[in-house]
Amino acid sequence: MSVQLSEQEQFRRQSLAAMRDLGINPYPPEEVEVTHYAADTKDSFKEENAGEWKEVKLAGRIMSKRIMGKASFAELKDHTGVIQAYFNRDELCPGEDKTLYNEVFKKLIDRGDFVWIKGFVFKTQVGETSIHVEEFKVLSKSLKPLPFPKTDDSGKVHDAFTDPEQRYRQRYVDLVVNDGVKETFVKRTKVMNTMRQFFNDAGYLEVETPILQPIPGGASARPFVTHHNALNIPLYLRIANELYLKRLIVGGFDGVYEFAKDFRNEGMDRTHNPEFTVMEIYVAYKDYNWMMEFTESLLERLAKEVNGSSSLKVGDNEISFKAPYRRLTMIDAIKEYAGVDISGMGVEELRKVCDDLGIENDDSMGKGKLIDEIFGEKCEGNLIQPTFITDYPIEMSPLCKRHRDNPELTERFELIINGKEIANAYTELNDPIDQRERFEEQLKLSEKGDDEAMFIDHDFLRALEYGMPPTSGMGIGIDRLVMLLTNNASIQEVLFFPQMRPEIKKGPELSENEKLVFDLLSAKETMDLSELKAAANLSNKQWDKAMKGLTKNSLAKVEKTDAGLTVSKV
């Protein structure tokens, strides 16, 4: 049984057939010549130079039609924007036969159809730059009606297509209909292109490393598992690419970077999607101080390239991306925002600090975790302007080198902007013995039941034993960076196709109750309604539903006679 078409979909199929009857192919195969785009044409056209605009050819989607008898206006949308087109009956159809205008344009072309137009540019009496159409051609017929948001004089949008579920599931419609959505994604690409340019100019090499990994390393997270048939082994979708990029530094590259899709089998919310994009870069012979300078100049450049300015309004906050950024150790940050000096404190003291500050904690939490909690709870949200938080406790950073002045700390920084973490970087741990010990610490944690502790990657340790030069590495969450730079609060707004639960297909088949009634009826062809109802022995509601279903599908018919109501099979 086919899915029921809405009335509007049926009309569009009729138009499609009518086009074919007129000898018009609604899906022609050949290419069309396009000489101009909507936005340029609108921006550049001047009436003084009308002579230069005598013949323009554009292609795009019809977004609206305003028919006024023998003349009409339509809006044509291409990838650059929207331009108005003017269709005049007697110019399109100079002879007796007005079919092209009266039938094809007025009736058979619908909102959403792709067309090609040829004509000249002019300004209407109201001053709107428009294309005076001399020829047009159908390029592709649209069978489903698009939503129709409209903007009034005051800029207010009416009937916007807003339901987030529909917008994400049918992003193609969202992109066609909601201005601004496309812009977000263009900016996203600009962010990545700018970063590439920045790294390439510095002489670093873009690389690709495995997504299917036998050991999911480089971060703490639950991985997706899959299975390789030929090898008969489990493989994991990567949760990070850090350990592979470091192997390449061991191999002698000076600087490598990768835009990586990572996968984590965890919850979804407005800042988490199961697959997401991270850029990681590793540069030999550098430390985290160098990396801070590198990062801040990158961010300043990104803000300028993407938004044309080094400052940006995000929510209520005006953020300046102009380098240099404030640098604050984690201990100083806690001193400043929580009012507590935790330097030198042990587990017990830290736990007391948490209690005093009203931060939840339990016995399983070690020193590092407690400090991290205090920071996350009391400091992070206050850091609006770009700030490097440095020198994290060692327990939290098993791949990071010990701090040169304090063995309890690591040479790590995170860049916090608008209260959120944007980048994370280390002076990388290149001491293979220290690294092995740190992995063993992780193993102990995992034996204690910490299911996020890292696996030991023996091949990575072997690589380090051959020698890795001093290196600094940095990772940026691209999705969150794009959220920041485009002022979007949800990760779903910066992913074309965010993960959703699968749609459930509704079957148009007869329900159990409908079948029951239909079978009873089939035996006798015609029955008294109350008799049939009694025979069916259904509740009122079920009976009502079943009968409505049958009459709707034209399988049964209810007739009123003098004797009462009778039901007959159709």
Partner RNA sequence: GAUUCAGUAGCUCAGCUGGUAGAGCAACGCCCUUUUAAGGCGUGGGUCCUGGGUUCGAGCCCCAGCUGAAUCACCA
Q: Interface residues for RNA in 269-298 (CB under 7 A)? A: 269-270, 272
In the bound complex, what is the minimum distance in angstroms from residue 268's beta carbon to RNA? 8
How is residue 200 annotated by DSSP? H
Which residue in the set 7, 30, 316, 447 belongs to the binding site for RNA (CB under 7 A)? 7
Q: In what order do the strands lie in the sheet with 255-263?
A: 205-206, 255-263, 275-284, 471-477, 420-427, 412-417, 387-390, 326-329
Instruction: Give residues 394-453 in contact with RNA (rule: CB under 7 A).
Output: 396, 414, 421, 424, 452
Closer CB to RNA, 124 or 193, in the complex: 124
Closer CB to RNA, 6 or 49, in the complex: 6
Instruction: Calculate the alpha carbon distances from 272 to 267, 277, 334, 478, 483 in Å.
Output: 7, 11, 27, 12, 12
64 binds RNA (CB under 7 A): yes
Instruction: Give residues 126-145 in contact with RNA (rule: CB under 7 A).
Output: 126-128, 130, 132, 145
> Which residues lie closer than 8 Å to 485 by C-beta, 6 or more apart?
187, 191, 302, 303, 306, 307, 312
Which residue, 177, 190, 228, is CA-closest to 63?
177
In the bound complex, what is the minimum distance in angstroms from residue 278's beta carbon to RNA? 9
In the bound complex, what is the minimum distance in angstroms from residue 312's beta carbon to RNA? 20
In the bound complex, what is the minimum distance in angstroms from residue 29's beta carbon to RNA? 26
In the bound complex, what is the minimum distance in angstroms from residue 30's beta carbon to RNA? 27
158 binds RNA (CB under 7 A): yes
In the bound complex, what is the minimum distance in angstroms from residue 484's beta carbon to RNA? 16
Which residue in the set 165, 336, 440, 519 belongs to the binding site for RNA (CB under 7 A)? 165
Instruction: Give residues 70-99 in contact with RNA (rule: CB under 7 A).
Output: 70-71, 73, 84, 86, 88-90
Closer CB to RNA, 244 or 276, in the complex: 276
Instruction: Give the 3-state secondary structure of residue 142.
Output: coil
Closer CB to RNA, 304 or 369, in the complex: 369
Which residue in the set 81, 149, 419, 432 belongs to the binding site for RNA (CB under 7 A)? 149
Closer CB to RNA, 4 or 561, in the complex: 4
| 60 CB-contact burial (10 Å; exposed 0-12 / middle 13-18 / buried 19+) | buried
Length of the chain counted residue by residue: 570
CA 459 to CA 492: how far, in whole Å? Answer: 37
Provide the total of helices (H) and of strands (E) in the chain, helices listed first.
18, 23
Instruction: Give residues 524-553 in contact with RNA (rule: CB under 7 A).
Output: 539-542, 544-545
Cβ–Cβ < 8 Å for 190, 198: no
Instruction: Give residues 204-233 in contact with RNA (rule: CB under 7 A).
Output: 219-222
Instruction: Calculate the alpha carbon distances from 21 to 30, 98, 144, 145 in Å.
Output: 20, 16, 21, 22
In the bound complex, what is the minimum distance in angstroms from residue 201's beta carbon to RNA? 27
Here the tokens at position 474 are 């940095």
How is residue 393 annotated by DSSP? B
Nearest-Å Rg of the Cα atoms of the chain is 33
How is residue 563 annotated by DSSP? T
CA 462 to CA 65: how far, in whole Å? Answer: 68
Closer CB to RNA, 46 or 228, in the complex: 46
CA 40 to CA 27: how far, in whole Å? Answer: 27
Which residue in the set 107, 187, 196, 335 belongs to the binding site for RNA (CB under 7 A)? 107
Closer CB to RNA, 144 or 462, in the complex: 144
Cβ–Cβ < 8 Å for 33, 40: no
What is the contact mask toward RNA in residues 347 to 386, using x (rule: CB under 7 A)? -------------x--------------------------
Instruction: Give residues 490-529 in contact with RNA (rule: CB under 7 A).
Output: 490, 492, 500-501, 504, 506-508, 511, 513
1 binds RNA (CB under 7 A): no
